[in-house]
Structure 1
Amino acid sequence: MESIGVRPSYDFLTMNLHFLKGRKLLITAGVYESEVAEKVQDTFEKYRETQSYKEAILSTANTLQLSKASVTSYLPYQKGVYFPSTADKEKISVGAERQRRYRAIRKLRSEPTEEHLWETVLLYCGVQFKTYSGLPFTYEIRKGRSGEYTKELWIDRRGKSKSLAWSSVLLALGNIKKVGEVVERPKALSDIRGVTYIYGMFYRFG
C-alpha cells in the first residue's frame, strides 16, 4: 500500500476524475507522497538530464516495469517553459519547481558541499518541515540592501520567528560527515544552536 503524506478530503468519484489523473493532481499540488512516486520521479529526472521528455518517460517505464500511463501519473503536471535555476520560484510552474528541488537534492547527496547545501536550502524556502518530535516549521532567507541573500535563516514556528546562523548549519553538515552513518537524533549532531530545526531540514534532504 502506498502512503499519502497528507490525506486530502477529495472524492475523485464525486469529482468524476480518473484515479491516475487525481493522483497526478495531488502530486502537482505537493500533497501526495509514496515510495513509488519518489522512485519514479527520481528515475525520470536522471533520464531527463540526457533525454527528451517523451524518451525519459519510456526509459523510466522500461526500467521500473511500469506502463507509460502509470509513469506519467506519478509526475507533476508541466506548464510553460523551464526557467534557469536562478529564476524566482514565483515565475515557474509547480512541476518545474519540484524538479529543481529533486536535482538539487541529488547533487547534495552525491557531493555534500556548502555550495550544494546552500542551493538546496534556497529552493526549500517556505516548504514545511518537521522537527524530530513532529512539530511543523518553515523558514525564509531574506535579502540585504544589495539584493543578495543574507546567510541567515529565519525559522517560523507558531507565528514567531527566530534566526538560525548559516555557520550553525555548516557545523552540523561537518558533523554528519564525521559520523558517517545515519544520524538518529538531533543531539548526535552536537550541541548546536537550532539543531532541532537543522536536523528536520537534513532529514528531509536525505
Structure 2
Amino acid sequence: MEGAVALYGEDGSLQSIADTLSLNPIKVRKLLITAGVYESDTARLVRQTFHSFRETQDYSTAVTSTMSALQLSRPSVTSYLPYEKGVYFPEEAEAANISAGAERQRHYRAVVALRKNPCEENLWKCVVAFRGYKFKTMSGLPFTYTLKKGRGDEFNKELWIDRREDSKSLAWSSVTLAYHNIGKIGEVVDRPKALGDIRGVSYIYGLFYRFGLIDVPEKVKEKMKK
C-alpha cells in the first residue's frame, strides 16, 4: 500500500503503478482506496451506498444489497471498498516512528485535503503532518521546523524553525496572515514579500509552495527542488 501511494503521489496512473508493483490495476485501486487517497464518482457512490446498507446489515449482505441497488457485480462492488484491515498511523506520530512510505502517505493526504478545501484548519493539519520535513527557501537554503506540545498533549500553534545551529519561532498568526494574502490558490507568487511584510515570510513561502497553495517562478522552482 505504501508503494502504491508513493507512486500515485508522483501522478502515476493505475496501470503504470500496477506494472511497477507487478499487480493488476484493480488491486492497485483498492489499495489506494484503503489508504484514503483515491477518489472517483463511482468509488464514492459505491462506498456511500454500501455504508447505508451496512448500518443494518452484515458485510456480505450489504455487498449484495449494493450490487442490486447499483446493478454491479460482486467483484466490482468489493473492488471499490477498502480492505477490512490495515495499518494506520495517527497524525501526531513522529516521523522516526513510522516508515518513509507512511510519512509520504501522510504528507500526500494532508496536501490533498488542503487543496480540496483550503481553510485554516486544513492548513494547520498540513503543518502538523510536515514537521521535520526538509523545505527550502526561495534562495535554496534548507530548513525544517518542529512543534512543541502544551496542555492536553496538543501541539502549540508555533513553529520552531531550525536553520543550521540556531532556531527561531514562527507564529501561527503570521502563517495565517500570509495565507489570507494569497490572491488565488495555486497562483504564481514572485517573491516572499508578495505575501506581506511578515516576520518569517521567507519560510512561509517555502511551506506554501510545498503545500500547493502557491506556485513559484520556474527559476525559483529549480532552487527549491534541488
| Shorter-chain TM-score tier | 0.5 to 0.7
Q: Which residue does the alignment assign to 1:88?
A: 93
User: SS of 2:11's equivalent?
Assistant: helix
Q: Does 1:115 align with 2:121?
A: yes
Residues 50-98 of structure 1: CA distance to partner in whole angstroms, max 9, x if unpaired?
Answer: xxxxxxxxxx11xxxx37232669x9xxxx9422444513443221221
* Partner residue of 1:158 out of 156, 164, 168: 164
Q: Which has the higher contact order (CA 8 A, sep 6+)?
A: 2
Q: Does 1:39 align with 2:11?
A: yes
CA distance in 1, matches of 2:17, 2:89: 31
Amino acid at match of 1:133: S
1:23-62 correspondence to structure 2 within 5 Å = 38-40=10-12, 60-61=14-15
- When residues 120 and 179 of structure 1 are mapped into structure 2, their CA distance, relative to the original with a 3 A threshold, is closer
CA distance in 2, matches of 1:138, 1:91: 18
CA distance in 1, matches of 2:109, 2:159: 22
Residue 118 of structure 1 and its aligned partner are, at CA, apart by: 0.7
Aligned 8 A contact 1:156 1:162 in 2: yes
- When residues 197 and 160 of structure 1 are mapped into structure 2, their CA distance, relative to the original with a 3 A threshold, is same
* Partner residue of 1:140 out of 146, 160, 182: 146
Amino acid at match of 1:68: A
Structure 2 residue runs of 5 or longer lacking an equivalent are 29-84, 213-226
- When residues 176 and 83 of structure 1 are mapped into structure 2, their CA distance, relative to the original with a 3 A threshold, is same
Amino acid at match of 2:18: K
Structure 1 residue runs of 5 or longer lacking an equivalent are 1-23, 29-33, 44-59
Q: Does 1:186 align with 2:223?
A: no
User: How high is the sequence identity, in percent, across the aligned residues?
Assistant: 54
CA distance in 1, matches of 2:198, 2:165: 23
TM-score between the two structures when normalised by the length of structure 1 = 0.63
TM-score between the two structures when normalised by the length of structure 2 = 0.58
Q: How many residues align?
A: 149
Q: Does 1:174 align with 2:184?
A: no
* Partner residue of 2:208 out of 172, 177, 202: 202
Residue 168 of structure 1 and its aligned partner are, at CA, apart by: 0.3
CA distance in 2, matches of 1:83, 1:180: 30
Aligned 8 A contact 2:134 2:142 in 1: yes
Aligned 8 A contact 2:144 2:161 in 1: yes
Q: Which moved more, 1:91-100 or 1:109-118?
A: 91-100
- When residues 116 and 172 of structure 1 are mapped into structure 2, their CA distance, relative to the original with a 3 A threshold, is same
User: SS of 1:176's equivalent?
Assistant: coil
* Larger relative helix fraction: 2
Q: Which residue does the alignment assign to 2:111?
A: 105
